[in-house]
A and B are shown apart, each in its own frame.
Chain A
Amino acid sequence: MKKLFALVLTAIMLLSCTALAEFDKTIPEGTSFVFWHSFTGANEETLLKQIAAFEAANPGIDVQEQYIGGYNVIHTELASANTAGVGVPALAVINVPRLTSYAKDGLVEDLTPYIEAFADEINFADFYDGMVDMMNNEGHQTALPFGQSGQIFYYNKTLLQDVGVEFPTKMEDMDAFLEKVYNHTGKTVIDIHGTDNAYFYCLFTNMGCFMIDTETNKTGLENEKALELIKKLREWVDKGYIKWVINDVGNTLMLDFTSGECAACLYTSSTYANYKKKAEAGENGITFEVGIANQPYGDNGTNHQYVAGATMIIPSADCNTQAQKNAAFKLICFLTNPAQQLEWATTSSYYVTRKSASTDPQYAEAYNALLTKLPEMAVLDLNSYVAKTKHELFDRCGDIFENYMSEIMANGMDPEEGWELMVEEINDTLADQ
């Protein structure tokens, strides 16, 4: 299926490239462009180093990189600059779910002709299929994978070894696992990031409940199985197995996990390096080894791992010249090449977006270096990552979803009542367009 998809994609690409045979890929000397990103700390340092290497390799190009803020800030700034048609960067890092609207409204360039024109600098087929698929809107490649992350479980390996359990790979084993660990520690077993549906959405899709059914234009969460899962989660919350964290989430998860207040937490894969460092240094009182687990399989044996996190786009605004956009694309080519991806992943623990990074012997050394530093990365099979439903109301519906989940899990709302209200509100939202 994926192969077929790739084939169709290539065909479309070829077609569009014949149509746009005139694509002008020149980058005159002295081209400079603005690049907005959302990375801080060590990640930013690595990125700057890579950009410097890019500039050294391309003396004619000057990159003006700029940290703008988190994903939401980038969105606000980008969209407002776009309405004015002034001050739009030539390259930006955005959050994947925003892409659908951007593509629909023509905020972003279609990268397909670029991929063709710069074919010798970027091996498009080498990207993980799921990632590329997520960034494809109606046949147009509107973004390229960079800074991808997933929603994974971190667990205290040392503790689980003491208890003598493994982190479950199936949802059906979860009950026993939670009980066992809870009886051992008497503390919360899993902290869940409760204010972003991306984290717990997989649990639902693995039960066959999707946020939006594009055929009926209704939510798949109205499936009774979703209610069952909600009730189950609530039961675990009531028993003290699970803590649904809904404010100052990033800090609370980190503190709970590194100080041993919980045995595991569900959060973004991009904090792995940070958690590992803190846990191994014993910064919050206990020293332990960090393990990583995928989302558990659902009862029908499916397991969806979703592509999330950042992605790179080139805004279409006219205030940037074609040369600037070309230069921006050149930087994408550079940053997404396997060698740079490996270096980037080693500090940032964002996913490597290229298949050859782990398979091609050429990168074996760097890949081993990554695994030495972040061994658990090997647990994740990036080939299994797939795209979420691409719908412009996905985010809005997701907000409603997480709002009700917080109410049910942290504010004591009756699960059935909350579920009914949630389904109603999401369906209303979908109907209202």
Chain B
Amino acid sequence: MTVSTAKRPAKSAYWAGVRDGTPFLLMAVPFATLFGVIATDAGLTLAQAMGFTILVIAGAAQFAAIQLMVENASIAFVLLAALAVNLRMAMYSASLVPYLGAAPLWKRACVAYLNFDQTYITSIARYEARPEMSVAERVQYFFGVATPITPFWFGMTFVGIVAGQAIPDAWALDFIMPIMFLAMVAPMMKSLAHVAAAAVSVSVGIALVNMPAGTGLLIAAGAAMLTGALVEIWQERRTS
């Protein structure tokens, strides 16, 4: 086998990722613009706002940090709260290990940098649906999903900083985010265990919504994962 034919599957996995990542522009464009506007209004310079978006590259945590900075919270508190919002990504990181753990360290580091909600959920859905994918194909797919989103996240932040104007509320683009995440999750309801996990996630998430900076979500996610695993075991025992 020649190198070129061996490369082809990884290449097509990359383009499949680009295709599947593109719809998320609907979401990245308004939120990145909004971040640019809010960061500038809060008093950050262009370099600081861009530095934020490029180094952190996590919407929810960026908005949380800016809000606390506007309120002049202590630096330690800003950092603690924003990092707590991002802790769910440790769960993403762990759940990618069975699929990407064998990839070279530098590739895992690149995946880690680009591991945000959209790239994660799109990729994990593909990995679950196609267990035959090679590790190289999985990595290429992940990079493919990130390819359309990332430059727009950076670019539209810049546009928001310079234009100083967000997309009007009347367009209801705020709700594109819930719709897109729900659209990703709904097809994953493959078993009773998945439905039970989602139901626990929703109810605990709502019950603990007033807990500080994402900690309620962490508890909800932990309880939901445990529920999914236990229901799965219970179903296996019942059928065996």
Do A and B come together as binding partners? Answer: no
B residues contacting A by CB (< 8 A) are none
A residues contacting B by CB (< 8 A) are none
